[in-house]
Amino acid sequence: MRDKTEIIRKRYDRAAKYYDAVESMMEKKWFSQWRKLLFSFVKGPKVLEVGVGTGKNMPYYNQDWEMVAIDFSPKMLERAKERAAKLNLQVDLRLMDVQHLELSDNSFDTVVTACVFCSVPDPILGLKEIRRVLKGDGVLVMLEHVRSKKEPIGKIMDMLNPLVVGIYGANINRNTVENVKKAGFEIVEEKNLLSDIVKLIIAKPIK
């Protein structure tokens, strides 16, 4: 697992310089509106963003929140620090792996992720760690792409997945909704944003 994590980390380190440029068209067409929707479900005061990347969600942060934002890629985190400075945001940015969160139990009101769990080597382990650091009445808010349940689209995604993982380190055929349930959450809301592939997922820890 450590080897897989290190391989993916290095890929994101290499991509950090041009990551925003590569995704700029998708950002304008879809992601900016999806991010706005995502953060409309985020409640403070203590908020954790997992997989902050280059900080593209930062324009949607509330200044009143106590923000902690983590990423396992040092180069991505450098870009996030630059963006936080430009936006004059007070954010506690930390180098950290969601599979091994160095954070206290029951400490966050909301944990938010955006296109993160496609590339976590052990997604259920990462989700269990999120459950651990969430308060009992906290909420997990996710924007994630998943395997389509529509055939033959789902089967095509299965066929292409090894190639995509080899190039980008991201899986395109994960069943993230089921993984969230397996990690000890109940689904409060599941909203399709692009067919049934891109989803907004709202979940709460099962008490």
> Percent of the chain scored above 90 by pLDDT?
84
The average confidence (pLDDT) of the chain is 96
> Burial, 49: exposed, middle or buried (Cβ in 10 Å; 0-12, 13-18, 19+)?
buried
**pLDDT tens sequence across 74-123:** 999 999 999 999 999 999 999 999 999 999 999 999 999 999 999 999 99
Contact between residue 142 and residue 204 where contact means Cβ atoms under 8 Å apart: no
- Is 2 a residue whose pLDDT tops 80? no
What pLDDT sits at residue 179? 99
What is the per-residue pLDDT for 11? Answer: 87
pLDDT at 17 over 90: no
Q: 184: alpha, beta or left, given left = phi > 0 and alpha = psi -120 to 50?
A: left
Higher pLDDT, 15 or 151: 151
pLDDT of residue 169: 83
Question: For helices 74-86 and 2-15, what crossing angle results, to 10°?
Answer: 40
Distance CA 148, CA 150 (A): 5
Q: How many CA atoms lie within 13 A of 70 on its CB side?
A: 19
At 26 the pLDDT is 84
pLDDT band at 1 (very low <50, low <70, confident <90, very high): low
pLDDT at 16: 85
What are the tokens at 190? 């599941």
Concatenate the DSSP letters of all residues of 133-184 into one string. HEEEEEEEEEEEE---SSTTHHHHHHHHHHHHHHHHS--SS--HHHHHHHTT
Residue 177, pLDDT score: 98
Indicate if the pLDDT at residue 163 is higher than 90.
yes
Instruction: Give the pLDDT of residue 22.
Output: 81
Q: Where are the domains of the chain?
A: 2-146+173-205
Q: Is pTM, for the whole model, over 0.85?
A: yes
Could you tell me the fold of the domain covering 2-146+173-205? Rossmann fold (3.40.50)
Please answer whether residues 139 and 110 qualify as being in contact, where contact means their C-beta atoms are separated by less than 8 angstroms.
yes
* pLDDT at 175 exceeding the cut of 90: yes
What span, in angstroms and rounded, lies between the C-alpha atoms of 175 and 156?
Answer: 15
- SS3 at position 12: helix
